[in-house]
Amino acid sequence: MSYNSYFEGAQAAARGLDVTPAQINQVLEALAAETVAQTATLLEENKKDLDRMDKANPNYDRLKLTEARINDIAKDIINVARLDNPLGHILSDKTLPNGLNVSKISVPLGVVGVIYEARPNVTFDVFALCFKTGNICILKGGSDAAHSNKAIIDVIHKVLVANNIDVNVAVLLPKEREAAEALMQAVGYVDVIIPRGSQGLINSVRQNSKVPVIETGAGIVHTYFDESADLKKGTDIVFNAKTRRVSVCNALDCLIIHASRLEDLSVLAQPLGDAGVTLYADEQAYITLKESYPHNLLYQAEAEHFGTEFLSMKMSIKTVDSLQQALTHIATYSSKHSEAIITEDEKNIEIFLNRVDAAAVYVNTSTAFTDGAQFGLGAEIGISTQKLHARGPMALQELTSYKWLVKGNGQVRA
């Protein structure tokens, strides 16, 4: 099957898109309202996808839509509408000695392809952010969310038609794997591809795409409970980071604890046990917890339990004798997504912030905040763990590039 018609439609929409910032915001506000109005239909179609997935699958929670989640999605769309438009900003402007005026102005990336798995909310997020920034989006969702994504794109297209805008500004590719392969080969049609999903998906896109890729990495997240850490703060932070929503990439995977604080580990872990979190503890932590933590939830850690993104009610524990050992463990196993320290030591705070190489580095707070909306960006198209072009939650600014404008009056180069 040829997918060129999808790509050609997106290219034509990119060339013909001519909307004012006011019109963009009008469309987004209409989409938010229509999304809420179509809640029953969206939930009905989402249930068809949920019925085909095992509830034990970590992706089940990511796939699931609820009335509350749909309302939150609509609020995020409104938030995007209310953000300043990032296009047309003059980033630099100077006149050279030869009289040439040279300026640099922000422009859309162009046609943005996004390959993602069982997360139907991404369909809304990508469209809202791309449309706000004048980009065209080509969406390739996972087959697990096929019914949900089709229902969502129908809502988006309904709003676009009502506002006399080409529906090809938001293209949903068929659910077949071959569509993703075609998208990765669509040189000349697609300007950039952003993968969102498991490490396997990200690796596949990075290795196989001929189109430039902005890598959004898996989250292997650590929190270090330092020698001077406040126990009450730590207990609340660790519990929130692990259990708030276990299937997302900012969820805690490994608690690192200073050996001098092992006597507090039972208190620190108690809420986790009450919530049913399985712990894979190294020898020192295991010995400390074996009398207090639920026996059916406590296991001795194996090598594979470190450097694992669990995406479930599971977590590992590593004991260290110093901040340096904690930093070494993080450097060894981190995916450079989100890392945190709990400490009252100002010197250790400074060292941790300076030494940890991650997109988001936290002090005395939960890694659950690594999120575009939480960072005041309205929403996010992904969380980049690379360093070129974008890093961390990617929103409006990260969906723009720039071009140089050179104005003269007959100058020629000698």
pLDDT at 205 over 90: yes
Q: Is the pLDDT of residue 274 over 90?
A: yes
Of 351, 342, 364, the C-alpha closest to 261 is 342
Residue ranges of the chain that CATH labels 3.40.309.10: 221-369
Q: What is the dihedral of CA 14, 17, 22, 28, to 10 degrees?
A: -60
* pLDDT category of residue 188 using cuts at 50, 70 and 90: very high
pLDDT for the residue 147: 97
pLDDT score recorded for residue 239:
98
- The domain made up of 221-369 has a fold known as Aldehyde Dehydrogenase; Chain A, domain 2 (3.40.309)
Alpha-carbon distance of 80 to 372, in angstroms, equals 11
Mean pLDDT of 133-160: 97
Nearest to 335 by CA among 240, 249, 209: 249
Provide φ and ψ at 247, rounded to 5°.
Answer: -90, 5
Query: How does pLDDT run across 277-316, given as a tens digit for each residue?
Result: 999 999 999 999 999 999 999 999 999 999 999 989 999 9
The mean per-residue pLDDT over the stretch 155-173 comes to 98
- Output the DSSP codes for 340-395: EEE-S-HHHHHHHHHH--SSEEEESS-GGG-STTTTTSSS-SEEE-SSSS--EEE-
**What 3-state class would DSSP assign to 84?**
coil
pLDDT at 35: 98
The whole-chain average pLDDT of the chain stands at 94
Once rounded to an integer, what is the mean pLDDT over residues 156-173? 98
Highest-confidence range of 193-207, 335-349, 374-388, by mean pLDDT? 335-349
Contact 201, 19 (CB under 8 A): no
Beta strand pairing call for 382-384 and 392-394: antiparallel
The more confident residue out of 238 and 202 is 238
The yes-or-no verdict on residue 153 having pLDDT over 80 is yes
Phi-psi region of 162 (alpha: psi -120 to 50; beta: other; left: phi over 0): alpha
Neighbours of 270 (CB within 10 A): 15
Which residue ranges does the chain devote to CATH 3.40.605.10?
4-215+386-407
Span 29-57, mean pLDDT? Answer: 96
| Average confidence (pLDDT) over 340-347 | 98
Averaged pLDDT for residues 157-165: 98
Q: What is the pLDDT of residue 61?
A: 87
CATH class label, 4-215+386-407: alpha beta
